[in-house]
Amino acid sequence: MKRGSSMEAGNKKIDTLIGKDSSITGKLESVGTIRVDGRFEGDIITKSDLVVGENGEVHGKVKAKDITVAGLIKGELEATGKLELVPTAVVEGEAKMSLLVVEEGAVFQGHCQQIPKDQKDRGKALRIDTPKTPAQPVPEADK
């Protein structure tokens, strides 16, 4: 990989990768997508996405736009967008998210709280226009 370039995992561009045989303690802040395949203990904050791979472990506080978990997270999570737990995921602790997706087989132990999206995004997906005329009863069919 060239210096300064990014990797891709699926359709996500990975800016920071903690490899399978790595163990890091501290605070990680980024504006790009982070993927953890090793062990991280501390705080992770990114304005983009966080992916915890099947062998990945995070112990601490996590804040990201979208969080996808295939490994283990113990601690506090906040996803301003979506928190997705795939079948191999184990999450223990407090979680806040706008949208929660839990696939069959995933384990979640703790508390979760849904947080509202930005005011401008509310209702976009479920916009329902009110009809101008009232609904009329359906006539019964002849028997």
pLDDT tens for 26-51 read 999 999 999 999 999 999 999 999 99
Q: Report the pLDDT value the prediction gives residue 4, as an integer from 0 to 100.
A: 39
Q: What is the DSSP letter of 137?
A: P
Q: Contact at 8 Å (CB) between 82 and 99? A: yes
Identify the sign of the CA torsion 14, 24, 63, 110. Answer: positive
- Which residues make Cβ contacts (< 8 Å) with residue 138, sequence separation at least 6? none
- How far apart are alpha carbons 117 and 121 in whole angstroms? 6
Low-confidence ranges of the chain (pLDDT < 70): 1-12, 118-138, 141-143
Q: Contact at 8 Å (CB) between 51 and 32? A: no
Q: Which residues pair with 85 in a beta bridge?
A: 69, 102
Q: Report the pLDDT value the prediction gives residue 127, as an integer from 0 to 100.
A: 47
Pair of tokens at residue 142? 């002849």
